[in-house]
Structure 1
Amino acid sequence: MTNRAMKDRHWEKIGDITGHIFNIENENFSLKHVMEAPILQFKGLVEDACIGAQEEREMEMKLKQLQLDWSTVPLLFAHFKNRGEILLREAETMETMASLDKSILVVQAMIDNKYHGFFKKELNTRLGDYTKTRGILEMWLQTQTLWMDMEAVFVGGDIARNIPLEAKRFNNSNRNWMKIMQGARENPFVISFCVSDEFMAQILPHLKEQLELCEKAVNEFVEQQEIAAAEAAAAEAAKEAAEKF
């Protein structure tokens, strides 16, 4: 009961258990006053309250460390052609995702601790933030790969002239991509940018869907061109064969 982890709320809990008021703010408060309560009568429950205080202190320290660690983790950017830093660094972002996985496990372990009640709200918030950020980063990298592939097709490529509707779709997607990267550079901290509002959670799925439609149209066009080329080659071969006879 003399452990530094004991706070007012823990003394109040022991007071509720024993039916005794502990005036711990009194400068003369001592062991004598503690022993006035029926401590031994409720020994098991009192010990559990003291253990809970120590467990809570450890959780508090872990939560503070997580807050400190993640408050300074930045998004790292890479140059793309001559367009500036408009990509995430893939390797570093993957490392950040791995760190988030570890933090999620730490928070989940605290939630599984039976003494987590006092920190329940904060733990659930942290778990939600880390899980959401991890999911956003994963989708962000997937979308980035799609955007790079489609940028190669639609910026200065011949295919774009043959599928103008998809070229327009890509132009809109390109503007959204630039909006994302601009926002990220203005707020370049991982957790803060990904969870500060619903911007990323809303725009990324839509952008990924639009780029996937562009990719599908490009693949279909290329497939049609290959079929047409194969048919033309077959017709030419048949013509040459007919001329020999």
Structure 2
Amino acid sequence: MEEEKRTVRAVERALDVLLCFVSGHEWGLTEIAGRVGLHKSTVHRLLATLEDKGFVIRDAATEKYRLGLSVLELSANLSRSDDPSVVLLPEMERLRDELNETVSLYVRDRAERVRIQAVQSMQAIRRVATVGARLPLSVGASSKVLLAFAEPGVRAAVLSDAAWPSNLERAAFGKQLDDIVAAGYATSFEEREPGAAAVSAPIFNRSGKLVAALSVSGPSNRLTPDRMHEYAPAIIESAHRMGTILG
């Protein structure tokens, strides 16, 4: 039993090392050790194993690590038939062309939201959305959608988490989520960063399960509160079509 626990812990640590590359192209040994909270000697052994299996590559000149070809080989075998980031891309492009703003798709991963797909606006001044970006659930239109329409236990767990920002009153935020459910969409105006605004609607599959949040974002001087409310019906309709596509 003890040997089994050690094996699982080693796998978790190796996966933590790989997950560092979600937020960076390359990392040094000391940087990775700091991010995963492990001693450098432990991380060095993990990296040596991952390098041997082709999951990371070490640059001899810079002594930094980056992802290896084994990651690409695995991703090539992902099922594309039920991947929302692939299946919903044509509808996202259609919505982008209709509203001429950046369109993003978010899913919840524990206490964060992750952008899994984005279609950039064609306008010269636009919101540039990075696929793979992780953001907190405490701020932003899509975050509020992912919490508002989540199962009650999920919302309660996130709002009661000790990591919840102290400047956000939980009861008031919960009331805001109730209002979002009633409206069917959420907006944010310069909440996460100055000059940015977004409007988001939930995507449900045919069984009524929340799958993702569809978001349209842009500069706040163009995507004003009035304009966001004007766009909301089109975004809700597009989200409904996406749910039908997903089945």
Q: Quick check: TM above 0.5?
A: no
Q: Normalising by the residue count of structure 1, what TM-score does the alignment of the two structures yield?
A: 0.22
Q: Normalising by the residue count of structure 2, what TM-score does the alignment of the two structures yield?
A: 0.21
In terms of fraction of residues, the more helix-rich structure is 1
Larger radius of gyration: 1
In terms of fraction of residues, the more strand-rich structure is 2
The structure whose RCO (Cα within 8 Å, separation 6+) is larger is: 1
